[in-house]
Chains A and B, each alone.
Chain A
Amino acid sequence: MKLQNPIHTLCLILGLAIAPSTSHALLLGLSPELPTIDFSGSGMIDYNASTGIINISGDPSTLFSVEPFIFAELQGVVGVDNIKNIKLKFQVDNSGNLIPSDISLPDLVIIGSIDMNGNGTTDHSGTLLTANVMQFGFLNGMSNGDDVFDLRLNSINGALAYLYSEQDLAARVISEVSTVYSNPFDNSFNADWQGQAKGVIGSTAPTAGGTLSTPIPPAFWLWTGAIALILPSVRRNKNFNRQS
């Protein structure tokens, strides 16, 4: 196959070069549903390029449910230094693809205590929720630079696991451009980065049959479309050359 016209070749090269650079939508598109646990703007997301580890940490704030109505504040673990935190740790390769972890060690751990019905008695204290990351998505530079990450988790355990029976967990994390962080995510997993993080964790329908589909980057579809447009033209060129 040989492109006869150098302008066509230039168009092809530029077109293919442009398409991937403007395509960065790799979110899973998950929106956590009730019951939800949120964590506030004091959270942090940190990536270490040498290990591929992403750490998300923060203070879980509240648990919200409607059936029955629950709006309960997460507080410190009773008798253990009043600690509460959310820690989410998982590994990706240098393209941001999730590397499956040891299923026996949870990626998500939420620690704290909670009074579910507001009667002044702590109902659960200690490890409230654990889970393992099954899918990871990201979107760089929305909203003047704000980044979005979303995750699907399952293998749910902990004192609040019963709220998510037969469900997966979805987490949506927003990392806003902040005056505090000078090296946020820039669509690359080849170097360290760190940013502000806040977010929501909630339920989501499990994937059908428990199998996980790999998200296909939009760039792939752009490339496919471009090639589909170009190939007929090449074929016509070929036929034209044969005739001539």
Chain B
Amino acid sequence: MKMLPMYKRTLLCLVGLLISLMIPGIAEAALLGMPQAYPDVTLNQAYLIYDNNAINNNTGLLKVVSFGSTLSKGPGAGNSTLTQSYTGGSDHTPDLMLSIAIDRTSGNWVNSNNSAANKVTIGFGNSVIPNGTGNTPGFKWTGKVTDFGWQQNTSTNPPYTYGTFFDATWKFTQDDYEDMPATMSQFVDGVLTSAMAPFNGGIKISNSAGFGAVPHPTAFQRDWVFGTNASRTNVQNLLSPFLTGLASNTCSNNTSSNCISYLNSTVTTDVFVPIPPAFWLWAGALGFILPSLKRKKHINALQST
């Protein structure tokens, strides 16, 4: 075997070293980097659905649906939590909680005016219809997504991190309250929309499966359904109202586009709102909502221990 000259070997060694130094440079995080804050709404049993051409040929829609929500005042013992189920009786369909418009050629957030895009909807209690005729307490927060980011690969080698985390910012557009208990009398229609106007809330989504070896931006040019046992037919049946319009052909390789992948994944989602402390004095007050709300869509409040 012929030996390389010494200078070539040295050059090869330096090139190798340079490449190894450059590898971390690939990790250009496109996440927004919002820190988690309280109050925090955790979406229970969430599924992540992406339709790459839901709005038009250039714009896709990332949707998060969940079967319930848990509102947490803060960490540790003694803080109230409030859980709202969105199913009951024969209703096994999750609720649409978040929708984010995404440019399918870049993965960037799109400030779309489409009525289905960039919505945040958090409802607690039966009276989620603003100014409805019901007399049970409840509230509904709605908002508009204002920016979006995603996790890029941090290495050229597996495990790939692309698509394992997403984050977003949002602003209140409306908050409505129905028959709130006296201890929560500070919550009147529109109070948070006004108070929070200068501030962004945050959204954090983790998705254990991620986009795998599918390169950017191809991942945003195909449809995805992520969640616990998402590849099972009976799970897809539960999600069916939100799967309309998705591609029917399964993606055959990592470069395929306009196709669909159903991936088993652990999806967790938090929506948090940096509400000023003056509005957040409901320690114990959540318990007052409890007694009248054990119906189809019910909530429960508990003191953690």
A18-B21, A43-B75, A143-B206 given; A66·B304 CB < 8 A: no
Digitize B141-161: 1 where CB-to-A-CB distance is under 8 Å, 0 elsewhere. 000000000010011010101
Q: Which residues of A contact B265 (CB under 8 A)?
A: 31
- Contact call B24/A33, Cβ cutoff below 8 A: no
Tell me the nearest residue of chain A to B271, going by C-beta. A41
Residues from chain A with a CB closer than 8 A to the CB of B300 are 73, 75
A218 to B41, CA, bound (A): 35
Among B20, B81, B234, B266, chain A packs the most CB atoms within 10 A around the CB of B266
Structural contact, B74 and A71, CB atoms closer than 8 A: no
Q: Count residues of A near B (Cβ-Cβ below 8 Å).
A: 66
- Point out the residues of chain A lying under 8 angstroms from B10, CB to CB: 5, 7-8
A-B pair number, CB within 8 angstroms = 196
Greatest chain B CB density within 10 A among A73, A118, A172, A236 is at A73
Q: Could you say which of B21, B29, B31, B270 contacts A41, with CB atoms under 8 Å apart?
A: B270
Q: Which of B84-92, B126-134, B177-185 contacts A (4 or more CB under 8 A)?
A: B84-92
Task: Please report the C-alpha to C-alpha distance between residue A181 and residue B268 in the assembled complex, in whole angstroms.
Answer: 20
Query: Is B249 engaged at the interface, CB distance under 8 Å to the other chain?
Result: no
Please determine whether A33 and B31 come into contact, CB atoms closer than 8 angstroms.
no
A176 to B166, CA, bound (A): 12
- Complex interface: chain B residues within 8 A of A144 (CB): 29, 31, 33, 167
> Would you call A11 an interface residue if the criterion is a C-beta within 8 Å of the partner chain's C-beta atoms?
yes
Does A73 contact B83, Cβ atoms closer than 8 Å? Answer: yes
> What count of chain B residues pass the 8 Å CB interface test?
74
Residues in B with CB closer than 8 Å to A81 are: 305
Report whether A62 and B20 are in contact in the complex, using a CB–CB cutoff of 8 Å: no
Contacts of B81 on A, CB cut-off 8 Å? Answer: 40, 42, 59, 61
- Interface pair B234/A31, CB less than 8 Å apart: no
In angstroms, Cα B232 to Cα A66, docked, is 10
Q: Are A59 and B165 in contact (CB under 8 A)?
A: no
Which residues of the partner chain A approach B72 to less than 8 Å between Cβ atoms? 40-42, 59
> Is the pair A41, B36 in contact by a Cβ cutoff of 8 Å?
yes
Residues from chain B with Cβ under 8 Å of A52 in the complex? none
New A-B pairs, 4, CB < 8 Å, besides A36-B45, A61-B44, A178-B37: A36-B228, A42-B79, A61-B42, A174-B268
Q: Using a CB–CB distance below 8 Å, which chain B residues touch chain A?
A: 1, 3, 6, 9-10, 13-14, 16-17, 20-21, 23-24, 29, 31, 33, 35-38, 40-42, 44-45, 67-68, 70, 72-76, 79, 81, 83, 85, 87-89, 92, 151, 154-155, 157, 159, 161, 164-165, 167, 204, 206, 208-209, 228-229, 232, 234-235, 238, 264-266, 268, 270, 272, 274, 294, 298, 300, 302-305
- Between B155, B157, B161, B302, the greatest number of chain A beta carbons within 10 A of the residue's beta carbon is seen for B302
A-B contact pairs, 14 of them (CB 8 A): A7-B10, A27-B159, A36-B45, A38-B44, A40-B81, A59-B72, A62-B45, A71-B67, A82-B303, A176-B204, A198-B268, A198-B270, A200-B228, A240-B3
Question: Which residues of B lie under 8 Å from residue A66 when comparing CB positions?
Answer: 229, 232, 234-235, 238
A32 and B266 within 8 A (CB): yes
- Residues on A with C-beta less than 8 A from B92 are 69, 71
Chain A, 53-99, CB within 8 A of any chain B CB:
58-59, 61-62, 64, 66-67, 69, 71, 73, 75-76, 81-85
Query: Are A143 and B228 within 8 A (Cβ)?
Result: no
Bound-state CA distance A200–B85 (Å) is 17
- Return A64 CB to nearest CB of chain B, in Å: 4
Query: Is B16 within 8 A of A200, CB to CB?
Result: no
Known: A11-B14, A75-B302. A143 touches B83 (CB 8 A): no
Contacts of A229 in B (CB 8 A): 16
Contact A85 B266 (CB under 8 A): no
Contact assessment for B167 and A143 in the assembled complex, using a CB-CB cutoff below 8 Å = yes
A218 and B157: CB pair below 8 A? Answer: yes
B302 / chain A contacts, CB cutoff of 8 Å: 59, 75-76, 82, 84
Contacts of A67 in B (CB 8 A): 234
- Please measure, in the bound complex, the distance between the C-alpha atom of A45 and the C-alpha atom of B45, giving whole angstroms: 21
Instruction: Check A20 for interface membership: any CB of B closer than 8 A.
Output: no
- A92 to B11, alpha carbons, bound, how many Å? 44
Q: Mark A119-150, 1 if CB is under 8 A from B, else 0.
A: 01000000000000000000000111110100
Interface contact B68-A200, CB-CB below 8 Å? no
